[in-house]
Structure 1
Amino acid sequence: MHLFTLICGIVLLHKAYTLKCHECPTPEATETCTKTMDCPSGDFRCGALSITAYSGGSKISEVGFRRCVVAAECIEGGSINFGIAKTVIASECCTTDLCNSQPATAPSKSSPNGKKCFTCTGQSCSATLNCDGKEDHCISTKMIFGGQSLTVKGCATKSMCSATGQMLPGGLEGGISCCEGDLCNSAFSTSASLLILVASLLSLVMFS
């Protein structure tokens, strides 16, 4: 009897501590969010994420969501910069009911920080790119675009290189390689680590 009471108490207590969060699906990024959801378990948090894509320095799109998220989705914001195309992520998580009432705040425009990485123009990857803000790593990857395999290179923040997770590779042909040091991405190599949401980010930039 005592064991049954203990089990019931644990189950009910676990349920009692699940969060209620605002739920706004993509492509909502800045609009008022009135719909709510109950998180499946106490392992979830309330989250807000926005993804902003730039081309040639001009913002071309912004998408986002607010909902219950697992801890792995609460990545630190950052950016991936291919020169002509750049994607900036803002991510915010919290642990009280309906605490994600506001969209994630996108970082302000950054300026060159002195670091340089190789970038690709067509089939040539000999051009250099001035990294912005907190972009302290050089990156390399390959994409399938128009039926062809293309190498893309550029700058990224440390948070974008270190975040890992399970996801569909989308247009990715291989993995992402990150390195430190000026112009260290001269040779392509793959990595087993895949950035959370990287396929969505790259597709957003390359196919807009």
Structure 2
Amino acid sequence: MDLQISVFLLFILFTAGHSLRCYECISLTGSCAGQKVKTCPGRFSRCLSSTAVDQVDDSSTTIIIKGCAPVCQSASMSIGSSKATISCCDTNECNAQDPPDPTPNRKKCYSCDRQSCTNTLSCSGTEDRCIKATGAYGGQSVVIKGCASKSICDSASLFGVESISCCEGNLCNGAQSVSQSFLFLCCSLLSYFLLH
């Protein structure tokens, strides 16, 4: 009987001692100074670190989110002057650093500005696809074009996104004139990775 109790207590201590710990931060200022470590709930087996940057004229906004995730896939997407990067890991406190800036690759895709979608964008890191996504934001139809990782293209269930099409050839996502919204992209992308 004592052996059974000892084994049970050892099991509880062993499983409690092996819960994943991740840094946690939500920053709209681009800095996670003073980030805290959080013990993840049992079903959360990954640490996530994401950065979204939007450059408009001379102004830049950086959003950083770090925390525990039940499922996470590293991914990157660029749409002209806006970029979102997610990196995932599965060891204690492995998300201390922000996702690294990926190095440019040879892929090129069309992207949009406020007037047209004829701009050419150089992709970077794992962005091996050209993407075109449509959805609704603020009562308006929105189209986004740019570079994306395969894992973004495989995420057809992004919140608020009506359709996503991806292709592998250079400049294969067409050049029709449309509008874009970085906030639409950022909220959709992050909600998918944080909530699924």
TM-score norm. by structure 2 comes to 0.67
Q: How does 1:164-179 map onto structure 2 within 5 Å?
A: 164=155, 169-170=159-160, 172=161, 174-179=162-167
1:141 partner letter? A
Q: Which residue of 2 aligns with 1:87?
A: 83
Partners of 2:53 and 2:68 lie apart in 1 by: 21
Deviation sequence 1:158-200 (CA, Å, 0-9, x none): 34334x4866x14x3x032111113322499xxxxxxxx9551
1:138 partner letter? C
Deviation sequence 1:42-69 (CA, Å, 0-9, x none): 752444322222346x662111133223
Deviation sequence 1:111-168 (CA, Å, 0-9, x none): 573x44344566865x252323343311111132442213332222334334x4866x
Q: Which residue of 2 aligns with 1:26?
A: 27
Partners of 2:151 and 2:139 lie apart in 1 by: 30
Q: Which residue of 1 aligns with 2:194?
A: none
Root-mean-square deviation (Å): 3.8
Q: Which runs of 4+ in 1 moved over 6 A?
A: 2-5
Q: Which residue of 2 aligns with 1:129?
A: 120
Give the deviation of 1:3 after TM superposition. 6.8
- The number of residue pairs the alignment matches comes to 181
Partners of 1:124 and 1:105 lie apart in 2 by: 30
Q: Which residue of 2 aligns with 1:148?
A: 140
Identity among equivalent pairs (%): 29
Deviation sequence 1:35-92 (CA, Å, 0-9, x none): 3322212752444322222346x6621111332233x22x3242222x3x32131425
Q: Secondary structure at the match of 2:25?
A: coil
TM-score norm. by structure 1 comes to 0.64
Stretches of structure 2 that go unaligned for 5 or more consecutive residues are: 177-183, 191-196
1:133 partner letter? S
121 and 25 in structure 1: CA distance in 2 versus 1, 3 angstrom threshold: closer
Partners of 2:142 and 2:35 lie apart in 1 by: 42
Partners of 1:53 and 1:92 lie apart in 2 by: 22
